[in-house]
Amino acid sequence: MANSYVEYTSLSGTTYATPNFLNINDINVKGYNGSTWTTLTISSRDASAKTITLSAAPSSYQKIRVYRSTTADPLVDFTKGATLSESDLDSAYNQGLFVAQEVAENASLDGSGGVSNILNSQLAGGITNDKLAGSIAANKLAGGIDLTTQVTGYETGTFTPAVEQFSGTVTFSNVIYTRIGNIVHYSFKITNKSNTADNSQITINGFPFTMVGDHPASVGVNSSSFGHAMVSSGKMFFYSTTGGDFTYDNLAHTSGYIRVQGSYFIS
């Protein structure tokens, strides 16, 4: 049973009981005609009896919903040194509880119940469009944020890396990337280097998006002469333990492998 609204299908009268509320003026009514919901006019409210009376009998509707839409503006302002009263604590607690129920149950039928009055200034840091793509619907609050649609710049997939200045061939495998905002995480493996003499520095291109700055990579190589690797200007460069170039000749053919993972900022 819902906590934030009551629905009626027997519509012979004009007076109906309400759900619990903090303010009787938070109660509203909508009627359903089989395809759409329409806001109905309330002629009077009785806070003691917890009822509302409509201006006309809703007999032309299939059902009506008497629902609550609690304000999100603070009802109690606690101050330092003040005495905490039971009524103030109850009001503060129930306001949060009621708003949460209205959101979870979509009490107003339009996804805005209980949250329509929340401003960026009322949130820690504010929610802005550079953090979220559009708004979070009520069903997303209950079921979690769908990264593929709600977070700006989320993408995952594969790309096509390639070696530069190498007259032979290598095999790339397990190539994946994930972009979250302005950071790209990637990984791949290099094997099956052909038996080709080449003293050029191992250089990889084909990375997705436009890199910003220089970033070290986490690399595993079955060669004692390998030192480190970094990505810069759209490419990955390999260096020896002495700081010089780590070349294609330094990687054993057939049995040699390079495992790579890392991340970089993009523009």
Biggest alpha carbon–alpha carbon distance for the chain: 93
**Residues forming a β-bridge with 52:** 16, 45
User: What pLDDT tens digit does each residue of the chain (267 aa) get?
Assistant: 789 999 999 998 999 999 999 999 999 999 999 999 999 999 999 999 999 999 999 999 999 999 999 988 888 887 777 787 888 888 888 999 999 899 888 888 865 444 444 444 444 455 454 444 444 444 444 455 555 555 568 899 999 999 999 999 999 999 999 999 999 999 999 999 999 999 999 999 999 999 999 999 999 999 999 999 999 999 999 999 999 999 999 999 889 999 999 999 998
Q: What are the residue boundaries of the structural domains of the chain, listed by start?
A: 5-118, 156-266
**Hey, CA dihedral for 97, 100, 105, 106, is it positive or negative?**
positive
Q: Are strands 37-39 and 154-157 parallel, antiparallel or unpaired?
A: unpaired
